[in-house]
Structure formats: structure tokens, C-alpha cells
């Protein structure tokens, strides 16, 4: 678990990576970071502009040190999310940054029909995989969109390009993970830990 100070550092690192890459096409050097940023962690960086999603990319699995994963994810979210054009320099002042740090995803081993009872809204994120198709939804998606557990499973399947009930198939793997979410309260605003139903540090 990251402390509030480390969470703020994570968001500020993502902001610095964005500003340097968008403004100068420069990838920042990692210096003077707390030890946790050298640990292998999965992470996603989410960008919002005027309240709307503007990019979200990351590493579901802990294959990079956290600091490098944050920098890479911030750069990819602003420039390589296929759903959006690249973020322009003049947009930076309107961008809110959110950093989601993941636990190691683990597959459910219980019978598929029991999954709606096991998924806890606001705590769990989901990954659905079948063959070459995979979809991931972060824990904050379900409460932000008002999904119940059945809808959350279905929407993760849709994200993967699969039928909404594909989670019931025995050849579909469903994994779950938890996360710490640190976000700005407005563009360049105070960083707080986003928890459901209540906020953590800073709120």
C-alpha cells in the first residue's frame, strides 16, 4: 500500500511525464523517488478533460518498476490511446490525472455462476480473457457508472469484444484485482485517494 505522500508523488510524476512529453517530446529521468517506485507494480494512468475521459492506458501485470510504469503509462495515455487523438499542449491545463496502482490479478476458481456474488463493487477490478480477446475494467468504473456486479462482468466482456454473457463460458478466464487510486481534485488540484463509498487522504 502506498502512503498519501507516495500517492501524491505518483500523480505528480505522471503530470511531469505528460508535460515533458507533450511539450518537448522528452521522457523524464527518474530521480529521488521513494523506494516503493522501484517495486514491480501494475499501474494505469487515466486522463480526464472537462470531466470526460481523454485517455487511459497502463500495465495490468507487474512487469516494470512502478516509477517507469507510471511514466510510460502517462505518455501512452496522452499519445497512444486508439480511442482519442493525441493530447495537445494547450489542453494540459484542463487535464486531470488519475493513477491506479494494481495488485497482482488472480483468477476466480469458483463456479462461474457464483461470480456475481464474489465481485465486490468499488473494490474489485476485472479482466476477462478468451483466446486472443481480453478486456479490463478498473475498480472505479463500476461505482462511477452505477454497475451492479452482473453488469460489471458483462461490461468487461463487452470491453474484450466478447458477448456480454461470455464470463459464464468455461473457456473464458475471469481475473480480479484490487487497486489504490490517487486522483486530482480538478486540473492541477489537490491529490486525494479515491475510495468507495468515501474518499481517503485529502478528502
For the chain, domain boundaries:
4-103+179-194, 106-177
Q: pLDDT tens-digit profile of 106-149? A: 999 999 999 999 999 999 999 999 999 999 999 999 999 999 99
99 Cβ neighbours under 8 A, 6+ residues apart: 7, 10, 11, 14, 43, 44, 45, 46, 70, 181, 182, 183
CA 189 – CA 101 distance, rounded (Å): 20
Topology, domain 106-177: Dna Ligase; domain 1 (3.30.1490)
Residue with cell 463456479: 111
Residue with cell 487515466: 46
| Cα→Cα distances 26→18, 42, 65, 70, Å | 9, 23, 19, 15
Average pLDDT value for the chain: 94
Region 160-179: mean pLDDT is 97
User: Is 104 strand, coil or helix?
Assistant: coil
CATH H superfamily, domain 4-103+179-194: Hypothetical protein ph0010; domain 1 (3.30.700.20)
pLDDT for 198 equals 55
150 Cβ neighbours under 8 A, 6+ residues apart: 116
Query: Is 60 exceeded by the pLDDT of residue 203?
Result: no
Q: Where are the extended beta strands (E) located within the chain?
A: 42-49, 52-59, 95-102, 106-107, 125-130, 133-137, 173-177, 179-184, 191-194
Percent of the chain with pLDDT over 90: 92
Query: Is 60 exceeded by the pLDDT of residue 202?
Result: no
**According to DSSP H, which parts of the chain are helical?**
4-24, 66-79, 115-118, 141-145, 149-159
Query: Is 70 exceeded by the pLDDT of residue 183?
Result: yes
Q: What pTM, to 2 d.p., does this model score?
A: 0.92
User: Is 129 strand, coil or helix?
Assistant: strand
Query: Is 60 exceeded by the pLDDT of residue 61?
Result: yes
Amino acid at each position: 500500500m502506498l502512503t498519501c505522500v507516495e500517492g501524491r508523488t505518483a500523480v505528480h510524476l505522471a503530470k511531469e511525464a505528460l508535460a515533458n512529453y507533450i511539450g518537448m517530446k522528452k521522457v523524464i529521468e527518474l530521480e529521488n523517488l521513494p523506494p516503493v517506485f522501484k517495486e514491480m507494480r501494475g499501474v494505469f494512468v487515466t486522463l480526464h478533460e472537462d470531466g470526460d475521459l481523454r485517455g487511459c492506458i497502463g500495465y495490468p501485470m507487474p512487469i516494470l518498476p512502478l516509477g517507469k510504469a507510471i511514466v510510460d503509462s502517462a505518455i501512452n495515455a496522452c499519445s497512444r490511446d486508439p480511442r482519442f487523438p493525441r493530447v495537445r499542449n494547450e489542453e494540459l491545463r484542463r487535464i486531470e490525472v488519475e493513477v491506479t496502482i494494481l495488485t497482482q490479478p488472480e483468477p476466480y476458481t469458483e463456479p462461474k455462476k457464483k461470480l456475481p456474488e464474489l465481485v465486490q463493487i468499488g473494490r474489485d477490478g476485472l479482466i476477462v480473457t478468451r483466446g486472443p480477446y481480453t478486456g479490463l475494467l478498473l475498480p472505479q468504473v463500476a461505482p462511477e457508472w452505477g454497475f451492479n456486479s452482473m453488469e460489471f462482468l458483462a461490461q468487461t466482456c463487452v470491453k474484450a469484444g466478447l458477448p456480454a454473457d461470455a464470463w459464464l463460458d468455461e473457456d473464458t478466464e475471469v481475473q480480479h484485482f484490487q487497486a489504490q487510486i490517487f486522483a486530482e481534485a480538478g486540473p492541477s488540484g489537490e491529490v486525494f485517494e479515491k475510495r468507495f463509498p468515501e474518499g481517503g487522504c485529502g478528502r
